[in-house]
């Protein structure tokens, strides 16, 4: 019996010694503070105008592919239609812009950043006008590039408005305002498509001239009764929020606006 206790004791002491040797001592070490770096805050809203950045890459790839196609397709028809441009009653501004664009030096990169501004919604128009405009223009490669320019927001004078969307801060301000006005009907089914898109025409002070519900047909479709309720709640939100928090300048670029109300996030969560 004693012998066993002795052996057990010995083994325990052995364990303690091993642990003692291998453990780092838990003393307090002095903390090394990294040297303080001074940081300067600068406004970057002018440059952060990329509302659709995540989609940009996709769009750029697609555009590049289409670009190639366009350039090759344009060749044959152009020969025939050479005389026509004069007969087409293009609005004056359009012609002015085309000239301006031709004058400017175009980097390929700049073209790409322009592409970023186009929303998915507009993509179709972009490519359609490309093929048509190609008929009008004389030069091959230039046409491909300039056509893209045509559809863009091109208020060249104002540098801020180079890109068509709202700046991040402008968008955030408007969103925050509408979040407060939109009473989401809790009875909506949360496993359905709860997106209602409303086009607005605005006055310079942010009040509403006209509203238009896209997908209007869905309002009366059987089984989609909730869509009507959803759309009405969005309309109420807009009316309630008048005058909308619009930017103080650049009326031309935001006088037509589309608000995409999506209740899914709130109801699923």
Partner 1 sequence: MNLSKILKNAFLIILASLVLTACATKKTSTTSGQMQGDVYTGSDSVEYLASGVPDRVFFATNETVLTTASRETLRKQAGWLRKNSDINVVLEGHADERGTREYNLALGERRANSAKDYLMTYGISSDRISVLSYGKERPIDSGSSPLAWSKNRRSVTVKAN
Partner 2 sequence: MLLRYLFILLIIIPAKAFALIEVDITRGNLNPLPVAVSPLSIDNKSKENFKKILKKEDLGSEISIVVENNLRQSGLFNPLNKDAFLQEPDVANLKPRFEDWNLIKAQALVTGKVTFVDEKLRVEFRLWDILAGKEMMALAFTTVPSNWRRVGHIITDKVYERLTGEKGYFDTRIIYIAEEGPKTNRIKKLAIMDQDGFNNKYLTLGNELVLTPRFSPTNQMVTYLSYFRNLPRVYLLDIETGMQEVVGDFPGMTFAPRFSPDGKKIIMSFAKDGNSDIYTMDLENRIVERVTNHPSIDTSPSYSPDGKRITFNSDRSGYQQIYVMDSNGKNVKRISFGNGLYGTPVWSPRGDLIAFTKLHKGKFYIGVMRTDGTGERLLTENFYQEAPSWSPNGRVLIFYRETKTNSKGEGFSAKLWSIDLTGYNEKMVETETDASDPSWSSLLSN
266 belongs to the binding site for partner 2 (CB under 8 A): yes
Within residues 23-52, the interface with partner 1 by CB under 8 A covers: 23, 25-26
Find the part of the chain contacting partner 1 (CB under 8 A) among 19-27, 49-57, 76-84, 154-162.
Answer: 19-27
5 belongs to the binding site for partner 1 (CB under 8 A): no
If residue 210 lies in a helix (H) or strand (E), which one and from where to where?
A: strand 208-213
Phi, psi of 46 (to 5 degrees): -60, -35
Give the C-alpha separation, 124 to 108, whole Å.
22
* Residue nearer to partner 2 on the CB measure, 119 or 220: 119
Render the burial of 212-241: b for 16+ CB within 10 Å, e for the rest: ebeeeeebeeeeeeebeebbebbbebbeeb
239 belongs to the binding site for partner 2 (CB under 8 A): yes
Within residues 144-183, the interface with partner 2 by CB under 8 A covers: 150-153, 155, 164-166, 171, 174-175, 178-183
Member of 16, 65, 176, 217 binding partner 1 (CB under 8 A): 16
Tell me which of partner 2, partner 1, none is bound by residue 202, counting a contact when its beta carbon lies within the kind-specific cut-off of 5 to 8 angstroms.
none
256 belongs to the binding site for partner 2 (CB under 8 A): yes
Give the C-alpha separation, 60 to 154, whole Å.
19
188 belongs to the binding site for partner 2 (CB under 8 A): yes
The closest alpha carbon to 62, from 127, 144, 147, belongs to: 127
**Residue 147 tokens, joined:** 């056509």
State CA 107 to chain mean position distance: 23
Within residues 161-200, the interface with partner 1 by CB under 8 A covers: none
77 belongs to the binding site for partner 2 (CB under 8 A): no
- Residues of this chain that interact with partner 1 (CB under 8 A) are 16-17, 19-21, 23, 25-26
């Amino acid at each position: 019996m004693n012998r066993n206790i002795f052996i057990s004791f010995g083994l325990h002491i052995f364990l303690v010694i091993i642990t003692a040797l291998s453990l780092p001592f838990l003393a307090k070490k002095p903390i090394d503070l990294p040297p303080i770096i001074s940081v300067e805050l600068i406004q970057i809203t002018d440059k952060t105008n990329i509302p659709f950045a995540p989609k940009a890459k996709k769009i750029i790839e697609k555009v590049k592919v289409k670009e190639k196609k366009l350039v090759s397709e344009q060749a044959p028809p152009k020969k025939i239609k050479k005389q026509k441009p004069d007969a087409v009653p293009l609005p004056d501004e359009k012609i002015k812009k085309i000239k301006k664009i031709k004058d400017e030096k175009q980097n390929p990169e700049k073209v790409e950043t322009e592409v970023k501004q186009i929303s998915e919604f507009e993509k179709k128009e972009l490519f359609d006008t490309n093929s048509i405009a190609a008929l009008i223009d004389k030069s091959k490669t230039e046409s491909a590039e300039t056509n893209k320019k045509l559809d863009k927001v091109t208020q060249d004078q104002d540098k801020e408005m180079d890109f068509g969307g709202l700046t991040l801060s402008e968008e955030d301000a408007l969103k925050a305002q509408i979040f407060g006005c939109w009473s989401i009907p809790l009875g909506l089914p949360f496993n359905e498509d709860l997106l209602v898109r409303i086009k607005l025409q605005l006055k310079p002070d942010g009040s509403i001239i006209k509203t238009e519900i896209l997908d209007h047909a869905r309002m009366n479709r059987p089984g989609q009764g909730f869509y009507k309720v959803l759309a009405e709640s969005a309309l109420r939100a807009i009316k309630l929020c008048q005058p909308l928090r619009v930017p103080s300048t650049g009326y031309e670029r935001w006088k037509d606006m589309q608000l995409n109300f999506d209740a899914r996030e709130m109801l699923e969560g």
